[in-house]
Amino acid sequence: MIIEVGTRTTLDKDCLMRMHKLRAQVFKDRKRWDVSIIADMEIDGYDALDPYYLILEDKDAPQQQFGCWRILPTTGPYMLKNTFPELLHGVDAPHSTHIWELSRFAILARDKQCHDLSRDSLLAIRAVIKFAIAHDVDEFVTVTTLGVEKLLRKKGLDISRFGPAIRIGVENAIALRIQLNRTTCESLGIPTGSDHQCLHRPNRYSLEHGDRATFNLL
């Protein structure tokens, strides 16, 4: 597997086009979400805010994309705050350089697991957490489903809800906090240092905004 992390200005246009088509395939065709499709691509307003993207590609066929994630700081507009504020249940929306949002996670798992996270999903989670830690991020927030919450809890990540689930479209949606602490890191096999922080901030994950990283995972 090859995982790329970059922005709209650093990832090539073909890569971005494949990502948006993958999102359309997963969200519209498979999940039946009420999302807008333009030229077979799923794109929304948050894509105009220069987010980071994490892209999963086949090591032996880099043109074949099978996963992606969007990463936005909470210092500007983001989905939980501006699209799904009801999931905050009256709690103030996070606003911090140390708290980022994960959204638009799409994956075509090559090793589907009925009651557990797929191997590809786990590698993506590990990569996005390492990337975030390199940027001094202490916490993720995300809007997800009850099924995903159950899988994350089973794996042992340190997560908590903003409040109960709400039916949104075809999903029972919830907003989660994911602490990037020792508990979360150890559950994913990421080296840890102190009781509260993950260790290991490898240079290859440490990007200035506008840079791009490519790395291989077995």
User: Which sequence spans correspond to the domains of the chain?
Assistant: 2-216
With a cut of 90, say whether residue 117 has pLDDT above it.
no
Residue 187 sits at the vertex; the CA angle it makes with 191 and 70, to the nearest 5 degrees, is 85
pLDDT at 11: 94
pLDDT at 63: 74
Question: 3-state DSSP call for residue 35?
Answer: coil
* Helix ranges restricted to H, 24-178: 79-82, 119-134, 146-155
With a cut of 50, say whether residue 206 has pLDDT above it.
no
Model confidence at 208, pLDDT cuts 50, 70, 90, reads very low
Three-state secondary structure along 160-217? EECCCCEEECCEEEEEEEEECCHHHHHHCCCCECCCCCECCCCHHHCCCCCCCEEEEC
Mean pLDDT of the chain: 87
Q: Which two tokens stand for residue 37?
A: 């499709």
| pTM of structure | 0.86
**Under a CB-based contact definition with an 8 Å cutoff, are residues 176 and 160 in contact?**
yes
**122-138 mean pLDDT:** 93
The residue whose two tokens read 């032996």 is: 60
**Domain 2-216 CATH superfamily:** Gcn5-related N-acetyltransferase (GNAT) (3.40.630.30)
158 CB-side CA count, 13 A:
15
CA dihedral of 128, 134, 138, 143, whole degrees rounded to 10? -20
